[in-house]
Amino acid sequence: MTDDTDRPGDGRPLASMKAQVYLDPRPIEEIAEYYDWPLTHRPDWVYTVVRVITSLYVLIVHRETCIDRHNIPKDGPLIFAPNHASNIDHFFLGVFTTRSVQFMAKSQLYKGWFAWVMKHGGVFPVRRGQHDERAIEVARSILDRGGTICTYCEGGRSRSGQLAEAAKPGIGRLALQTGAPVLPAAILGSHRVRNWKRLRFPKVTVWYGEPLQYDVVENPTREQQQAVADEVFARIRAMHEELSARGVRAVRADRRSRSGD
């Protein structure tokens, strides 16, 4: 096992990842039910079961800790915006909040029994590399009824362990069209989860930043969307770099002294 010095760029090799299949060749009609369901349904008992199991896993195996959990609003619409380096980042993000977080996931995952689990767990698809208006419609519907979604600024998982060079504009569009607060979150250590076959289970920390909120713009330009996405991602990057440079203990102690806890 590793400690909180296990950071991107520490020289340790990462396990290889499968080649990325970016485009889903299936027609949208084949996965239409997974868009339709969350328009009228909230996550059901499946979400609770998966949450309990995965929470035990990340807390025990990865000894996950968090910083500034008090920044998470208790109610109202909310967009979580974490960095993305592991296929279980959504579990790392959601363990410290009682809110039911509905995740946007690449459409290629919707196959077999796993598609049923994601559907009832509140996950909804996005067709990467395409102008997916259905995914935006679902996300807006969830936020309009006071729900919580999670979307990754980088669009997909980092394959190097480093944060992406730039953010995708989609999160900016949602923030502007809905006016929902965006909560940037830095997840440190999850890039090494893929090394589990080597019996290496990194310690993971998530730092919840202060929410950002923007005035509603019903039809934001591409430039406006990108500007918001860049601001959110800059917050994520700053927190991630601080955790990497100073270490989790130092950052946690500093944050506690500032909050008076």
Span between the terminal Cα atoms of the chain, in Å: 30
| 205-208, strands of its sheet edge to edge | 65-67, 205-208, 182-188, 78-82, 148-150, 101-106, 124-126
CB 73 within 8 A of CB 101: no
Q: Look up residue 186 and give its two tokens.
A: 């830095």
pLDDT of the chain along its 261 residues, tens only?
Answer: 334 444 544 556 655 556 566 688 888 999 999 999 999 999 999 999 999 999 999 999 999 999 999 999 999 999 999 998 888 899 999 999 999 999 999 899 999 999 999 999 999 999 987 888 999 999 999 999 999 999 998 877 766 677 888 899 999 999 999 999 999 999 998 888 876 666 678 899 999 999 999 999 999 999 999 999 999 999 999 999 999 999 999 999 999 887 765
Backbone phi and psi for residue 52, each to the nearest 5 degrees, phi listed first: -60, -50
Q: Which domains does the chain have, with CATH numbers?
A: 28-156+164-255 (3.40.1130.10)
Secondary structure letter of residue 11 according to DSSP:
S
Q: Is 223 exposed, middle or buried (0-12, 13-18, 19+ CB in 10 A)?
A: exposed
Q: For 86, how many CA atoms within 13 A lie in the half-sphere containing its CB?
A: 27
Secondary structure (3-state) at 125: strand
**pTM score, whole prediction:** 0.89
